[in-house]
Structures are given as structure tokens and as C-alpha cells.
Amino acid sequence: MEKIFIFEKEIMKKREKDSLFAFIDLFAGIGGFHLALHSLGGECVYASEWDSYARKTYRENYYSTSPELFDYDMFRGDITDPENQECIPEDIDVLCAGFPCQPFSQAGFKKGFDEARGTLFFEIANIIKNKNPKSFFLENVRHLFAHDNGKTFDTIKKILVEDLNYSLYYQIVKASDYGLPTHRPRLFMVGFRDDLKENIDFSFPDPVPLKFTMSHVFNGKCNKDIGYTVRVGGRGSGLNDRRNWDSYLVNGKERKITSKEAKAMMGFPENFVFPVTEAQALKQLGNSVAVLPVKLVAQNIIKSLRVNVVDILPHLKVGVSTSSKR
């Protein structure tokens, strides 16, 4: 615990000096949230991810920019471990979490809260209750919105709004509406602590034109401007397969995506590395958030909190649905 105390003091000094905002990255995967919010001037003060392969990729890519996170043992594993929750720092500006998709997606047979992993949302709720972040930014598959005739989402909404006293804004966001050549519709949920609500002026960003297509991804003429959603796993497919997700016609020839193309589709930079097998890299990308939509939404969150933030819109070269607020 002494190590954690020293870490919090060091981070507070850094935040005061550089006008940073603090965020935590739960169910971190390969750090799509980390990449997006760090680029806006944020400091990741805690992250958790249990998968050993994803942890390897996360450390490989973020140690150079966030060394304290690793040196002070704030990159933790199983978030259900009470010790891993207890050490989460106080005074968090944004809690980020792309909690596990499988229980709410078609791939997971829409089991929802009937499956053990579905209860991981309640771990997020517990952390919000105990740590009182100024805001949260949650992501899940779009099927969560309609699961069990809307009852699952109603339960989540009740917990966030009525039990935890946060506002709630939600929208189904397509990555292709925010600069990336993949549809990848996801449910984004944003909330602010009730004591801040009088000063909050949040809205989801307007869509931006798609200027970065699959032809740019492949560096050749592609038969599709917007690509298929990158899958977590499963066998490959061909152009004529009705379940095709990884084959494209490029310059008249069939090509399959690799992790190189997939990371471009998801908004990761060219220098993002995967110290794992190709199969693991594609799995990790299939589990990740799309970076640019997260950046644009996070920018509006930080502006609403009136914290210094880098405005990325003038620099956005790459390039919903239902929207509501309660």
C-alpha cells in the first residue's frame, strides 16, 4: 500500500504541473481507451486486464508513455479481486470500461446476466460507488440495448441513474460515422456525477466524413469502402461465403486481412506492435474498441468537465443511430 501512496503523490504532482486529467482503464484489452484518452492529454492512473496475452500487448505499447502505471504495480489483473479494486486511486476524472461483450452479443447467444461474465457490470457499478469518478465512459455491443426486450439495459440504467446518482447519455455509434472504414456499431454510455450536472453540457459528436477507406487500408483499389467487422475468432471465409468477414477484392485479386490491415481499420497507429501470434493479434483487435470514435466522444466528456484537452478535430484525417439522455 505504501507503493500505491507514493504513486498517487507522484501522479498528483504530474497532473498539477501539466494540467492533465486522470482516467482508469477497466477491462483494458489492448488499450483502445488508453490510446484515445492519452492522446487528449490524459494520464492513465490504473488499468486492469486479466488475459495474459492482452496484458503482454498492453505493456509493450504503453510502458514508454505511462511507465508509472507499470512501475508502481497499477496495471492489475482480475478486477473481481477486492484488492485490485481497493488500490484504484481516488479523484478520477473518467472511468473507462469496455466490459466483456460475449454475454450480450449474438456470439454469446445473448445470455446476458444469466452468464457469470454478465455480472461484471456490477463490478463496474461497485467501483463507481466506492471511488466516485467525475464521469464514466462505458462501451458494449449494440445488442445490449435490446437484450431481453430492453430489460437488461433498463437494469443497467436504473443502477447508474437511480442507485449511483449519475446522469446517463447513450447512443449506438458506428465507427464508420467517425472516420474508420468499419461499421462496428457499439453502444456508448456516458455519465456524470449528479453534483456536477449543473455545469455539464455534453452531447455526442456529429458524424465526420469518411476519408479513409479500405482502399487506403490495402493501398490498392478495394471492392468495398467500408470493411466488415473484425471478428474475435473463427475460421476464415472466402469472397463468395455469405458469412465472409475477412476477404476482399483488391486490384482484381482476393486478399485476406491480417493484423496490419485490421489495426488500421480499428484506428491503431502503424507503430502499434503485437508481441503475440497473428491469431492472438486478430483476436485482440476483434475485442478492442475502435479508437477514433472513442477519441471524439472522450473529447466532449473532457470539455464538459472543463479540463484542458487537445482538440483533435482539426487534425482528424481519417475518416448513429439511436441517441438518448436521461
CATH number for position 20? 3.40.50.150
- Together in a domain, 17 and 120: yes
Longest dimension (CA), the chain: 62
Q: Are residues 162 and 268 in the same domain?
A: no
pLDDT number for residue 282: 92
101 is annotated as an active-site residue: yes
Do 143 and 262 lie in one domain? The reply is: no
Are both 21 and 79 inside the same structural domain? Answer: yes
Mean pLDDT across the stretch 288-310? 88
Mean pLDDT of all residues belonging to the chain = 85
Note whether 29 and 96 are same-domain residues.
Answer: yes
**Which is the catalytic residue, given 44, 87, 96, 101?**
101
pLDDT for the residue 3: 55
Q: Do 10 and 87 belong to one domain? A: yes
Q: Is the confidence at residue 298, as pLDDT, over 80?
A: yes
User: Number of structural domains, the chain?
Assistant: 2
pLDDT of res. 197: 81
Percentage of residues of the chain with pLDDT beyond 90:
63
The boundaries of the domain holding residue 265 are 214-285
Residues 196, 224 share a domain: no
**Residues paired with residue 324 on neighbouring β-strands, in sequence order:** 170
Residues 238 and 194 in one domain: no
Residue whose grid cell is 461483450: 101
φ/ψ (deg, to 5) at 265: -60, -30
Cβ-based neighbours of 228, under 8 Å, separated by 6 or more? 182, 244, 245, 246
Of 12-16, 24-28, 173-177, give the lowest mean pLDDT range.
12-16
Same domain, 118 and 236: no
Instruction: Specify the pTM.
Output: 0.85
In this structure, the strands spanning 42-48 and 75-76 are parallel
- The average pLDDT across 53-73 equals 95
Residues 297 and 281 in one domain: no
Regarding whether 182 and 130 lie in a shared domain, the answer is yes
pLDDT at 94 over 50: yes
Specify whether 281 is located in the same domain as 311. Answer: no
